[in-house]
Structure 1
Amino acid sequence: MVEPIKILSINVNFTVIAFLLSPSMIFLHLWWYKQQVLLAQFSSHTDDSILWQHFRVGNEAAYTELTRRYYRKLIHYGRKFTPNVQLVEDSLQDVLVHLWLHRRTLNDTPSVKFYLLKSFRNQLFKTLKTNLDRIELDSRFDELQPEFSSEEVYIQQETDQSFRTKVGELLAQLPERQREVIYLRFFQGLRPEEIAELLTIKPQSVSNILQRALANLRENWPISLFIALLLLF
């Protein structure tokens, strides 16, 4: 007789608690539960291509995981072009909303990361153009270049702090365009053709920039450090 009474007590208490909760609190609890169920469908190890396929047919869990996986990386990249964090976040939100609303018309892509970087970069530049003073637009926008500081350039695979610091300091000595290409090639893993499309330049220009950047690095880096960096990728 003890166990049924205990179960009855728990049921009654749960009913009372649910009754006492405000509608907004009940909604938040239900929303939180739904998010946990959605996130459980995929993990951080799920391949991008699988997430993209599920996202295109309307799977909220896949969309949530893709957003979680790339949101901070895209914000980090966007802040290289402007210190206006709100503008960067608004531009990314516009991209994410557009992707969800047009998900069923999106094509498959061999690289989800590249697709997101390109979409976000285009939207951010469009927003920046709109916000720049019309008189100064051409001169200021043509000079727009990302800023990769030594503190923000890092290597995720490497755990030695002194190594990361040294890499950041040396990369910071490169010209802005070389730093962006190095960042996209080695830290984001984009192919030269993808970088060319992203930066709207010719693939040969990307190769030339990479060669100049690597030549500068070889000239200024100890050979052991230079080889160690290349082996990481």
Structure 2
Amino acid sequence: MFTDINIDKEACYPDSSAKKLTDNVGPTDEYLWVHYLNGDKHAFDQLYRRYYSLLLHYGCKFSQDQDLVQDCIQDLFMELMLKSKKLSVPLSVKAYMFRAFRNNLLNLLEKEGKRYDFVLVDDLPEMLHTAMEEKDSFKDDLNDLLLAYQKLSVKQKEVLYFFYVKGLSHKEISNVLEINYQSSKNRLCQSLVQLRKLFFQIKK
């Protein structure tokens, strides 16, 4: 259906491999999107290559059923093919892709009655150290920090991921999570406060 992309057994991890495939070397997302809307199949193929791995890694944080995640990605790009005449240029292509894929995946997981969490693996230690202001105070307590993180809600984990791992702005995060700008800022702040609170509870 689309350009073949080889996926190995470790395709869901780590995020660094996805970053290599999705760094914007060449045309910007917006440039490709405009040309895709105008029927340029090459631009559509480039968007597919640029976002496939990124969405796969993101989806595998909700579900380790890689086949299900891949099916959702295929469905998303099929929708884009069919809806190109009805779409406009979003403020952020990246935010649009995350939001559309996230909605499709979570709807499918809920429809099939599958429970989900938001699990980070390789990039979690670096993210936590970046998120916590007093880095030196936590560098020897990574295990306790990981335990504290696991107690956060899915929403709290997700906003930390988008802000500290993917570097999305609050405007983009609010777009992806379908909340307003201030809610994105508040959720990030509350997540950090809760993470610190849980950490010190575990340390007692």
Which of 154, 168, 184 in structure 2 is aligned with 1:206?
Answer: 184
Q: Does 1:73 align with 2:54?
A: yes
Give TM-score, length-normalised by structure 2. Answer: 0.66
- In structure 2, how many angstroms separate the alpha carbons of the residues matched to 1:130 and 1:217? 31
Q: How does 1:105-184 map to 2 (within 5 A)?
A: 105-132=86-113, 144-149=116-121, 151-153=122-124, 170=145, 173-174=148-149, 175-176=152-153, 177-184=155-162
- In structure 2, how many angstroms separate the alpha carbons of the residues matched to 1:172 and 1:56? 45
Asked whether the equivalents of residues 96 and 175 of structure 2 are also in contact (C-alpha less than 8 Å), the reply is no
Match of 1:89 in 2: 70
Q: How many residues align?
A: 163
- In structure 1, how many angstroms separate the alpha carbons of the residues matched to 2:146 and 2:161? 9
Structure with more contact order per residue of length (Cα contacts < 8 Å, sep ≥ 6):
2
Q: Does 1:190 align with 2:190?
A: no
What secondary structure is seen at the aligned counterpart in 1 of 2:85?
A: helix
Identity %: 35
RMSD: 3.4
Kindly indicate which of the two structures has a greater share of residues assigned to helix: 1
- In structure 1, how many angstroms separate the alpha carbons of the residues matched to 2:183 and 2:117? 16
Task: Report the residue type matching 1:212 in the other structure.
Answer: Q
Asked whether the equivalents of residues 174 and 181 of structure 2 are also in contact (C-alpha less than 8 Å), the reply is yes
- In structure 2, how many angstroms separate the alpha carbons of the residues matched to 1:209 and 1:181? 7
Match of 2:79 in 1: 98
What secondary structure is seen at the aligned counterpart in 1 of 2:109?
A: helix
Describe the superposition over 1:12-33 as per-residue Cα deviations: whole angstroms up to 9, x where unpaired: xxxxxxxxxxxxxxxxxxx9xx
Give TM-score, length-normalised by structure 1. Answer: 0.58
Cα displacement (A) at 1:218: 7.7
Higher-Rg member (1/2):
1
Q: How does 1:42-61 map to 2 (within 5 A)?
A: 44-61=25-42
Unaligned stretches of 5+ residues in structure 1: 1-30, 32-42, 134-139, 156-165, 221-233
What secondary structure is seen at the aligned counterpart in 2 of 1:105?
A: coil
